[in-house]
Amino acid sequence: MPDNYASVPLRELNNGAFMPSIGLGTWPLDDIQAGAAVAHALDAGYRLIDTAENYGNEEGIGEGIGSTSVPREELFITSKFNVQWHSVQGVQDAWENSCKRLGMEYLDLFLIHWPNPQEGNYVQAWEGLVKLLKRGRVRAIGTSNFTVGQLRELMDATGVVPDVNQVQHSPFWLNDERLAFHAEHGILTEGWAPLGRGKHDLLSSAPVLAAAEDHRVTPAQAVLRWQIERGVVPIPKTSSPERLAENLDVFTFNLSPEEIKAIDTLDGTADEPADPMSFGH
C-alpha cells in the first residue's frame, strides 16, 4: 500500500460513508488519458476519483481501475449525471448507465451535475437519489453547483441532507455564505478547479508564492493546503505522475492563519465563476 494513501485523512459524511480529503479530477481527459491518469493516481495513493457522464471518460476510468490491484472497497468513486435524467426513474437509469460504463456494481457518491433551474426538475432528481441511497446502490448522494436556495429546496422536500455539494472553489471564488450553510448542515464542500484552472496567474500570486516559499512546497501544494485548511476537499486534475504525487503530498505542513487570510484576499480578483442559474448540462 502506498505511504501517501495511509497519510490521507478521511472525512465522515452525513449518511455514514467516509471520503478521502483529496481526490483526482478527470475533466477534460478522454478515455485513454483518464485511464492512464487513474492508474498512476491509484499507484501514487489516491483513492477518490471524480468523473461524470458529461466527461465521456467513465469507460476509460473503469479500465484504469481494472488495471490495478487496488481493492474496490478502498476506492471512493464519484460520478455525476446530466439534466435528461432529472426524474425519479431517470436517476435509476443514469446510475445503471454509469455503473455499466465504469464496470462497477455500485457508486460511492452520485451527484446531480448541475441544477438546470430552467428545467425545474432537480427536486425529482434528488428524490431519485434518495431512493438509490435507501436501496444501497450508492454509499452517498449529493449535488454539484447548487446554490443555498436550491439546497434548501431539496432538504425541505425530502428531509434528506446532501452529503456533498461539489462547487467551483479556489482563492478567487470563496462564497463564504455557501460554505457557512454547508458547515451548518454538515454538507461537505468539494472543490472543482481548485487551482483556478491555470488562469489569472493564481500560482504566481504574491500570497501563494510567499506561503509556498515559507513551507518549501510548490505553489500548487500551498493552494491545495489552503483548500484543506478551509474544510474543502479539492479534486485537482493532472495526468502528470510527478504532479499527481506532489498534489497528494499536502498533509505534512499547515498554513498559518495569516497565510490563509493573505490567500483569501485574492477573492473576487478574477473572472466570475460559472453561474449555475444559467449554465448546465
- By annotation, the residues acting in catalysis are 55
- Taken in order 90, 93, 99, 103, the sign of the CA dihedral is negative
Task: Please list, in sequence order, all residues whose beta carbon lies within 8 angstroms of the beta carbon of residue 10, skipping any fewer than 6 positions away.
Answer: 18, 19, 20, 21
Task: Please list, in sequence order, all residues whose beta carbon lies within 8 angstroms of the beta carbon of residue 33, skipping any fewer than 6 positions away.
Answer: 57, 60, 239
Query: What is the residue whose three cell numbers read 506532489?
Result: 246
- Taken in order 72, 73, 79, 85, the sign of the CA dihedral is positive
Backbone angles phi, psi at 198, to 5 degrees: 70, 10
Q: Residue 206, Cα to own-chain centre: how many angstroms?
A: 27
Long-range pairs for 27-30: beta carbons < 8 A, 24 or more residues apart: 27/51, 27/52, 27/55, 27/57, 27/192, 27/237, 28/55, 29/55, 29/57, 29/60, 29/237, 29/239, 30/56, 30/57, 30/60
Task: Please list, in sequence order, all residues whose beta carbon lies within 8 angstroms of the beta carbon of residue 248, skipping any fewer than 6 positions away.
Answer: 4, 8, 22, 44, 45, 46
172 residue type, one letter: F
Nearest residue to 228 via CA among 79, 7, 2: 7
Question: How far is Cα 32 from Cα 61, in angstroms, rounded to an integer?
Answer: 8
